[in-house]
Amino acid sequence: MSTNNIIALCISGYAALVATLVLFWNMYMYSNDRGKIQIGGFFGHRSDGYSPAEEILYFEFVNSGRKPILLTNFGGYTKKKYVQNGKSAFVINIPGIPKKLEPGDRHQVTLTNFECIDDTVKSMVAYDSLNNPYKMKRSILKRLQKEKKEMNEMNESYRAS
């Protein structure tokens, strides 16, 4: 084998290695190049300054991915089974949904009904138009359930006095 053949073989081997690495990198980037919804929530008070403050449950949906997402549903799953077909799923009617979220966009919702954060709720999930699930972090759900329990205890002690 001549020196020119060895150099050509090394260059072609290096080119094949680089092309393979680029292929795997592109496959990785393509699989991660999608929208992602992060769900946050907290309890608070809403007031217009004149009437007494109203307790609210605030949810925020943020598209932290690179592609737009059409947010279509929000609901959850409970620990106890409901009667209808043995399913434990529920859907919350939220104003403004369906909503298209561009990358970095957020959709904010306030609710005055707190039944969706019951102790029997196992998980809260948002769905996009392709029916992909995006779960609320368990730590956020547990914090909301704890805050709701504390609010109920405080309201009961207030009514008793």
**Using one digit for the tens of pLDDT, what is the confidence trace for 109-156?**
988 888 888 888 888 999 999 889 999 999 999 999 998 888 888 877
Give the predicted TM-score (pTM) of the model: 0.73
Do 76 and 121 touch, CB atoms closer than 8 A?
Answer: yes
The Cα 121–Cα 97 span in angstroms is 22
Cβ contacts of residue 49 below 8 Å, gap of 6+? none
CATH class of 35-160: mainly beta
**What are the tokens at 51?**
């009437």
The Cα 1–Cα 149 span in angstroms is 80
Cβ contacts of residue 46 below 8 Å, gap of 6+? 53, 54, 56, 110
The Cα 101–Cα 103 span in angstroms is 7
Domain ranges of the chain: 1-33, 35-160
The Cα 41–Cα 59 span in angstroms is 4
- Does residue 35 surpass a pLDDT of 60? yes
Percentage of the chain surpassing pLDDT 90? 38
